[in-house]
Amino acid sequence: MGVRRHSPIAPWLFGAPALIGLMLFLVLPFVMAVILTFTDQRLVSPRPGAFVGLRNYQRLLSVGALVQTPERSAAGAPVYARVRSITRGNRAYAGYRPLTAFRLGNRRVTVLATDPAFLQALGNTMLFAVLVVPLQCAMALGLALLVNAGLRGQTLFRAIFFSPVVMSMVIVSVVWAFLFNKDLGLFNQALGWISLGAVRPVDWLGNPATAMPAIVIMSAWQGAGFQMLILLAGLQGISQELYDAARLDGASAWQRFVHITLPGLRQTVLFVAVVTTIAALGLFTQVDVMTGGGPRGTTATVMFEAVRHGVREENIAYGATISVVYFALITLVIVVQQAIRRRRGGGVA
Amino acid sequence: MRGSGAPGAIIMTRVASLWRYMAAMPSLVPQPIRIDCVRRAVVLFGLLLGSCGPPPPRGDRIDLVLWKNQVGLDEAAITNVLIDRFNAGQHRWRVIAQSLPQGGYDQSIVAASLAGRMPCIVAVDSPMVARYAWAGHLRPLDGQVSAALLRRVSPAAVGRYGGHAYAVGQFDAALALYTRASILRRMHTRVPTLDRPWTGAEFQTLLERLKAEGAYRYPLDLATRDDKVSWWTYAFSPMLQSFGGDLIDRRTMTSAEGVLNGAPAQAFGAWFQALFAKGLVARAEPDENAFVKGRAAIAYSGDWWEPDFRKAWGSDLLVLPPPDFGHGVVIGGGSWQWAISRTCPHPDGAGAFITFMLQDKQIAAMSDASGNVPVTEHAAALSRDFGPHGQSRVFFELMRRFARQRPATPAFPTIANAFTFAMRDVMDGKDVHDSLDDATDDIDRALADTVGADDCGRARGAR
């Protein structure tokens, strides 16, 4: 029996188990989700879903603007008519809600959207990613350098730093919600003690300005152990000879870090940053447990909105629309990024 | 162990069907030896299970599977006792109870219904009855549970939709204000009664004086740390009703316009917002023991907290009606109720079971064992705790006088979500009118989307 070297079937045959899995659990559900977005399907309903065209996309993505001149002036400050009364009373603005407003001379321009909560959630998710990725990667790098420095008991510290990763995110979130509590939480008590009562208690999760940073800090703490492990592997892959040669040339510890460690870790850091970004864009559990999207929607994320509409309000078609639009946005970002990199002539990858 | 009976029976039927399957394929195995082995194994296994499960069915009893949500130990135990009583009291039916985790209960019902594998009898949370009826999971109780019997039950404990009763509860719950007699004496505040509850102004004055006194950082605990939609709707929509608003217009059941965002609702929202702005209520208490530990002077909570509060404060504890904000005291009505699934092949058996559970004697037994509020006058009179001089009588009075059902509409999940999100925004300082307009628009759109013209007509008939 001769072995055919170039059988066209063989690669498919070997790939089949994985491919079938991917088709069944990734591609097929996604195609179904895309179909759902054109219907008014509910999660449970005695009626089958009907085709509604682009209605879900219109409801999700429509934006507009309302320009107002002041009605009168009270104590020097211009007074405008209530936006919500105008949008609810005028058919042309039916379904629109204010997203944000700014002043242009004495006119007030209100940006309207049919689903401002989604746009706010999109902004929140990007903000979270922008804050958490550098913080978490820096923390992970610091920890990796620390446990790679040849200090005593470093295996124990590796285990300690990694332990939050294996804990359930729900449990970590519940515990941190206690730590962040305004009146009895550890952070405020510590702050008050250190400052001898000068720092007023901060309502970490109840204040729109601090809620997202609080979640960022907690998420970075929880996830950094995983990135630490990958960076540690990268660190140990850098040849010791380079360090020895640098030492002979009289390079300081900082020079060795900048000129040997960082370039040597370039690929690893890139990988870690990509993995962290992907995880950051899927932020859900912390928000659901710690803030429920509040206060005033400042911690709601895209995934949270998708679950809220799709599952909790049982409007699965709208939830699917959010997911599909989100997928398209992320794909767009990646395609643009790749195109720029290719134009620059290869880049890293 | 009582609870192990049901799963044991299921496994036995599974093993029996496996044996039948093997027996039907004799060519596969050397028949005499193998079948004998299997049969012996089944008999042994059955004996093993039989030793801890209920006795095997005698004669031609028909099994009725029942699903209920997992509840507290006392309620679970008394439910099993009542089911055993029913099984022992007649020879036609045998009810087999299965408990499902409460967190995923709704999904389990939906999944079972889609798969055509609903049990015969199901426990349903009161605000979900209309949705289940609309989605076709349930069949009306008509002809199975007599109308005369349903009339004896307090109205909030009967789940109606489209002109039919679909579910009926054996018990209800009640919301109350809890405080301590010593605090009211110190504040020189009168003790409100069921006939003369506090007015909104009296209540507000008391809270502000308690705050000014300085002993309490947050005088009132509204359990707002619990951000579950079910609590926010159950606890705060009655307050909205007492102000004169509502979740939706109950005359048409097709819109929330003017009701959820009208002047009374805005007054309610402004009052609610001020509670947090003035520091009368904590946005999120660190735990649920603010009242027990003396951090809060007044707690707004359900009858299920009474045992803990009683243990903490003894005879100093006062159980009071919630304030009347202008349109009477209102508390939420309707707890878990029994219903018959659409696919149940023996609705008469399920009806017999529900009729049995509604006997005054069984209701009283449930209430005394679990602390749940009985739903008929006679059962309350029979009960030790809810009788005319019982220690929990006040909850029965609260329920009988003030309970109002949440709106019976299939759009309830959206209504509850929209209301909760709006109130949480209000709590966090968002413009009250805007928040209520948002909720109103969400609800009206969902009502227009899900409940078409035909369903609206049915919902109207349900009133």
Rounded to an integer, what distance in angstroms lies between the CA atom of residue B463 and that of residue B458? 9
pLDDT over 50 at B299, yes or no: yes
What pLDDT, on a 0 to 100 scale, did the predictor assign at position A84? 87
> Containing H/E element for A109?
strand A107-113
As a 3-state breakdown, chain A gives helix, strand, coil percent values, each rounded to 5, of 60, 10, 30
Assign A197 to helix, strand or coil: coil
What pLDDT, on a 0 to 100 scale, did the predictor assign at position B56? 47
B448 touches chain A (CB under 8 A): no
Buried residues in A62-85 as b, exposed as e (16+ CB within 10 A): eeeebebeeeeeeeeeeebeebbe
CA-based nearest distance B285→chain A, Å: 8
B110 touches chain A (CB under 8 A): yes
The band of B25, judged by pLDDT with boundaries at 50, 70 and 90, is very low
Same domain, A98 and A181: no
A100 touches chain B (CB under 8 A): no
CA-based nearest distance A185→chain B, Å: 8
pLDDT over 80 at A134, yes or no: yes
pLDDT over 60 at A349, yes or no: no
Same domain, A140 and A178: yes
pLDDT over 90 at B358, yes or no: yes
The band of B10, judged by pLDDT with boundaries at 50, 70 and 90, is very low
A42 belongs to a structural domain: no
Q: Give the whole-number percent of chain A exceeding pLDDT 90.
A: 43
CA–CA–CA angle A235, A237, A243 (5° rounding):
70
CA A12 to chain centre: 36
pLDDT over 60 at B460, yes or no: no
Print the domain residue range for A102: 65-113
The beta strands (E) that lie in A116-250 are given as none
Same domain, A198 and A147: yes
**Is A66 within 8 Å of A109 (Cβ atoms)?**
yes
pLDDT over 90 at B361, yes or no: yes
pLDDT over 90 at A305, yes or no: yes
Same domain, A80 and A221: no
CA-based nearest distance A161→chain B, Å: 27
A53 belongs to a structural domain: no
Q: If you average pLDDT over residues A42-63, what whole number do you get?
A: 86
What pLDDT, on a 0 to 100 scale, did the predictor assign at position B51? 40
What pLDDT, on a 0 to 100 scale, did the predictor assign at position A332? 92
For chain A, report the end-to-end CA distance as a whole number of angstroms.
43
Same domain, A109 and A209: no
Q: Which of A199-203, A239-243, B317-321 comes out lowest in average pLDDT? A: A199-203
pLDDT over 70 at B28, yes or no: no
* Highest-pLDDT range among A161-175, B163-177, B441-455: B163-177
Same domain, A131 and A208: yes
pLDDT over 50 at B35, yes or no: no
Residue A294 with chain B: CB contacts under 8 Å: 227, 424-425, 428
- Of A42, A84, A297, nearest to B433 by CB-CB distance is A84
The two structure tokens encoding residue B80: 């099993």
Q: If you average pLDDT over residues A150-169, what whole number do you get?
A: 86
Domain residue ranges of chain B, discontinuous segments joined by +: 5-47, 62-170+334-384, 175-332+408-442
pLDDT over 80 at B36, yes or no: no
pLDDT over 90 at B88, yes or no: yes
Buried residues in A200-211 as b, exposed as e (16+ CB within 10 A): eebbbbbbeebb
A292 touches chain B (CB under 8 A): yes
Rounded to an integer, what distance in angstroms lies between the CA atom of residue A184 and that of residue B407? 38
Chain A residue closest to B418 (CA)? Answer: A313
Residue B434 with chain A: CB contacts under 8 Å: 84, 98
What pLDDT, on a 0 to 100 scale, did the predictor assign at position B375? 94
What pLDDT, on a 0 to 100 scale, did the predictor assign at position A230? 93
pLDDT over 90 at A128, yes or no: yes
Residues 6+ apart with CB under 8 A from B91: B58, B59, B61
- Of B134, B227, B286, nearest to A181 by CB-CB distance is B286
Residues 6+ apart with CB under 8 A from B18: B38
Q: How many CB pairs under 8 A join A and B?
A: 72
What pLDDT, on a 0 to 100 scale, did the predictor assign at position B356? 95
Paired strand residues for A97? A113
Instruction: Give per-residue pLDDT as tens, B325-346.
Output: 999 999 999 999 999 999 999 9
Q: If you average pLDDT over residues B415-442, what whole number do you get?
A: 94
What pLDDT, on a 0 to 100 scale, did the predictor assign at position B50? 40
Same domain, A90 and A227: no
Q: Which fold has domain B62-170+334-384?
A: D-Maltodextrin-Binding Protein; domain 2 (3.40.190)
Nearest Cα neighbor of A176 from A213, A147, A146 is A213
A32 belongs to a structural domain: no
Residues 6+ apart with CB under 8 A from B320: B176, B177, B178, B179, B191, B192, B197, B198
Higher pLDDT, A153 or B55: A153
Residue B441 with chain A: CB contacts under 8 Å: 88, 95, 97
What pLDDT, on a 0 to 100 scale, did the predictor assign at position A148? 85
Of B421, B423, B436, B444, which to mutate for an interface test with A (greatest number of A Cβ within 10 Å)? B421
The two structure tokens encoding residue B14: 């599974």
What pLDDT, on a 0 to 100 scale, did the predictor assign at position B178? 96
What pLDDT, on a 0 to 100 scale, did the predictor assign at position B164? 94
Nearest Cα neighbor of A208 from A113, A308, A120 is A120
Higher pLDDT, B308 or A77: B308
What pLDDT, on a 0 to 100 scale, did the predictor assign at position B172? 94
Assign A170 to helix, strand or coil: helix
Backbone angles phi, psi at A56, to 5 degrees: -65, -40
pLDDT over 50 at B54, yes or no: no
The two structure tokens encoding residue A249: 């040339």
Same domain, A69 and A180: no
> Containing H/E element for A192?
helix A186-194
pLDDT over 80 at A1, yes or no: no
B229 touches chain A (CB under 8 A): yes
Q: Beta strands B331-333 and B403-405: pairing type?
A: parallel
Same domain, A105 and A160: no
| Site of tokens 């609800």 | B443
Residue B450 with chain A: CB contacts under 8 Å: 42, 45
Give the CATH number, domain containing residue A242.
Answer: 1.10.3720.10
* pLDDT, averaged across chain A: 88
Same domain, A172 and A224: yes
Q: Do B413 and A314 touch (CB under 8 A)?
A: yes
B438 touches chain A (CB under 8 A): yes
Higher pLDDT, A75 or B260: B260
A178 touches chain B (CB under 8 A): yes
Paired strand residues for B180? B317
Same domain, A131 and A274: yes
What pLDDT, on a 0 to 100 scale, did the predictor assign at position A199? 81
The band of B452, judged by pLDDT with boundaries at 50, 70 and 90, is low
Burial class (CB in 10 A: 0-12, 13-18, 19+), B154: buried
CA-based nearest distance A162→chain B, Å: 28
Amino acid at B186: R
Instruction: Give per-residue pLDDT as tens, B224-267.
Output: 988 888 899 999 999 999 999 999 999 888 899 999 999 999 99
What pLDDT, on a 0 to 100 scale, did the predictor assign at position B22? 37
Q: If you average pLDDT over residues B437-441, what whole number do you get?
A: 94
What pLDDT, on a 0 to 100 scale, did the predictor assign at position A185? 87
The band of B45, judged by pLDDT with boundaries at 50, 70 and 90, is very low
Residues 6+ apart with CB under 8 A from B57: B63, B94
pLDDT over 90 at A125, yes or no: yes
What pLDDT, on a 0 to 100 scale, did the predictor assign at position B40? 46
What pLDDT, on a 0 to 100 scale, did the predictor assign at position B206? 96
Residue B113 with chain A: CB contacts under 8 Å: 44
A233 belongs to a structural domain: yes
Rounded to an integer, what distance in angstroms lies between the CA atom of residue B234 and that of residue B203? 20
Nearest Cα neighbor of B61 from B29, B35, B95 is B95
What pLDDT, on a 0 to 100 scale, did the predictor assign at position A179? 92
Instruction: Give per-residue pLDDT as tens, B400-410.
Output: 999 999 999 98
Q: Do B437 and A84 touch (CB under 8 A)?
A: yes
- Total domain count for chain A? 2
Q: Do B433 and A184 touch (CB under 8 A)?
A: no
What pLDDT, on a 0 to 100 scale, did the predictor assign at position A74? 72
Q: Return the HEC string of chain B.
A: CCCCHHHHHHHHHHHHHHHHHHHCCHHHCCHHHHHHHHHHHHHHHHHHHHCCCCCCCCCCCEEEEEEEECCCHHHHHHHHHHHHHHHHHCCCEEEEEEEECCCCHHHHHHHHHHCCCCCCEEEEEHHHHHHHHHHCCEECCCCCCCHHHHHHCCHHHEEEECCEEEEECCEECCEEEEEEHHHHHHCCCCCCCCCCCCEHHHHHHHHHHHHHHCCCCCCEECCCCCCCHHHHHHHHHHHHHHHCCCCCCCCCCCCCCCCCCCHHHHHHHHHHHHHHHCCCECCCCCCCCCCCCCCCCEEEEEHHHHHHHHHHHHHHEEEECCCECCCCCCEEECCEEEEEECCCCCHHHHHHHHHHHCCHHHHHHHHHHHCCEECCHHHHHHCCCCCCCCCCHHHHHHHHHHEEECCCCCCHHHHHHHHHHHHHHHHCCCCHHHHHHHHHHHHHHHHHHHCCHHHHHHHHHCC
pLDDT over 70 at A182, yes or no: yes
**Is B176 within 8 Å of B193 (Cβ atoms)?**
no
B450 touches chain A (CB under 8 A): yes
Q: If you average pLDDT over residues A59-88, what whole number do you get?
A: 85
The two structure tokens encoding residue B125: 């949370």
Give the HSE-up count for residue A309: Cα atoms under 13 Å, Cβ half-sphere.
27
What pLDDT, on a 0 to 100 scale, did the predictor assign at position A328? 94
B284 touches chain A (CB under 8 A): yes
Q: Which fold has domain B175-332+408-442?
A: D-Maltodextrin-Binding Protein; domain 2 (3.40.190)
Rounded to an integer, what distance in angstroms lies between the CA atom of residue B422 and that of residue B430? 9
Residue A40 with chain B: CB contacts under 8 Å: 449
Q: Which of A51-60, A107-116, B226-235, B444-453 comes out lowest in average pLDDT? A: B444-453
Greatest C-alpha distance within chain B: 90
CA-based nearest distance B279→chain A, Å: 12
Instruction: Give per-residue pLDDT as tens, B411-428.
Output: 898 899 999 999 999 999
B433 touches chain A (CB under 8 A): yes
Same domain, A100 and A151: no
DSSP state of A3: P
Chain B residue closest to A179 (CA)? Answer: B286
Nearest Cα neighbor of B173 from B371, B419, B452 is B371
| Site of tokens 């085709």 | A51
**Is B366 within 8 Å of B170 (Cβ atoms)?**
yes
Instruction: Give per-residue pLDDT as tens, B183-201.
Output: 999 999 999 999 999 999 9
Residue A313 with chain B: CB contacts under 8 Å: 413-414, 417, 446
Cβ atoms within 10 A of the Cβ of A159, count?
Answer: 11
Rounded to an integer, what distance in angstroms lies between the CA atom of residue B447 and that of residue B376? 34
Backbone angles phi, psi at B93, to 5 degrees: -120, 155
Q: Which of A68-82, B24-38, B419-433 comes out lowest in average pLDDT? A: B24-38
